[in-house]
């Protein structure tokens, strides 16, 4: 590990720590998303009280902060271990943001951004999985959980690099953990559907 690698890891974590939902809501004079709805600073929760446009901006921002650090790292190294570590740093920044008391979102959009940076076919497969599940069941968390479970398999199938597979598997475990309350509500039949206030 050299100085450049350390800078890439740190930069990825710091960028990941910028909560798109909280920043946009503050700029627009809206309530902190952590005090509304599910309390999650992510696109699905923002949709419930901020509307489709703000939710879309939140989604794009959260994806970008996963994608950008990986793309920057790619200009400096082709080492899959370093790229995977940078990707994980950005993802963990979103989950545990330095700037917001280490209380961040669930990581779905940032995970997708990370996957686009590492292996775009895997990201597309994960998005397609989310869309199919959302169309069938209209439940965001179920769609995200299904995509998270399948993402490591997609990485094996469509890319195959060991470091990327390992990183995706760890990321998927974090996603499952962050959705544990959603899993309980799904089992109880109490999970809200997409767009429901």
Question: Residue-wise over 50-63: b if at least 16 C-beta within 10 A, else e?
Answer: beeebbebbbebbb
pLDDT at 143 over 90: yes
Q: How many whole angstroms separate alpha carbon 36 and alpha carbon 113?
A: 25
pLDDT tens per residue, range 128-141:
999 999 999 999 89
pLDDT tens per residue, range 175-190:
999 999 999 999 999 8
pLDDT tens per residue, range 63-114:
999 999 999 999 999 999 999 999 999 999 999 999 988 989 999 999 999 9
Domain-embedded: residue 195 = no
Domain-embedded: residue 193 = no
pLDDT at 38 over 90: no
Domain-embedded: residue 117 = yes
Q: Residues with Cβ < 8 Å from 177, sequence gap 6 or more?
A: none
pLDDT at 146 over 70: yes
Domain-embedded: residue 197 = no
Domain-embedded: residue 68 = yes
Q: How many whole angstroms separate alpha carbon 41 and alpha carbon 24?
A: 10
% of residues, the chain, pLDDT over 90: 82
The structural domain count of the chain equals: 1
pLDDT at 60 over 80: yes
Domain-embedded: residue 13 = yes
Rounded alpha-carbon distances, angstroms, from residue 142 to 9, 50, 63, 111, 190? 31, 22, 19, 16, 12
Burial group, residue 80, by CB count within 10 angstroms (0-12, 13-18, 19+): middle
Range of the domain at 118: 3-188
Domain-embedded: residue 194 = no
């Amino acid at each position: 590990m050299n100085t450049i690698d350390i800078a890439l890891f740190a930069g990825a974590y710091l960028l990941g720590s910028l909560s798109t939902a909280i920043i946009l809501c503050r700029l627009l004079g809206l309530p902190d998303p952590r005090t509304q709805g599910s309390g999650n600073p992510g696109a699905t929760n923002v949709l419930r009280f901020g509307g489709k446009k703000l939710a879309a901006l939140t989604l794009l921002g959260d994806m970008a902060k996963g994608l950008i650090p990986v793309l920057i790292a790619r200009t400096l190294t082709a080492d899959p271990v370093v790229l995977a570590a940078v990707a994980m740093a950005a993802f963990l920044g979103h989950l545990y943001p330095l700037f917001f008391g280490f209380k961040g979102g669930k990581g779905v959009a940032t995970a997708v951004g990370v996957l686009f940076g590492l292996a775009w076919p895997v990201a597309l497969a994960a998005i397609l999985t989310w869309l199919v599940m959302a169309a069938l069941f209209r439940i965001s968390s179920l769609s995200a959980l299904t995509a998270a479970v399948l993402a490591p398999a997609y990485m094996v199938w469509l890319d195959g690099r060991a470091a990327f597979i390992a990183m995706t598997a760890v990321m998927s475990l974090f996603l499952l953990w962050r959705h544990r309350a959603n899993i309980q509500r799904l089992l109880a039949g109490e999970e809200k559907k997409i767009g429901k206030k």
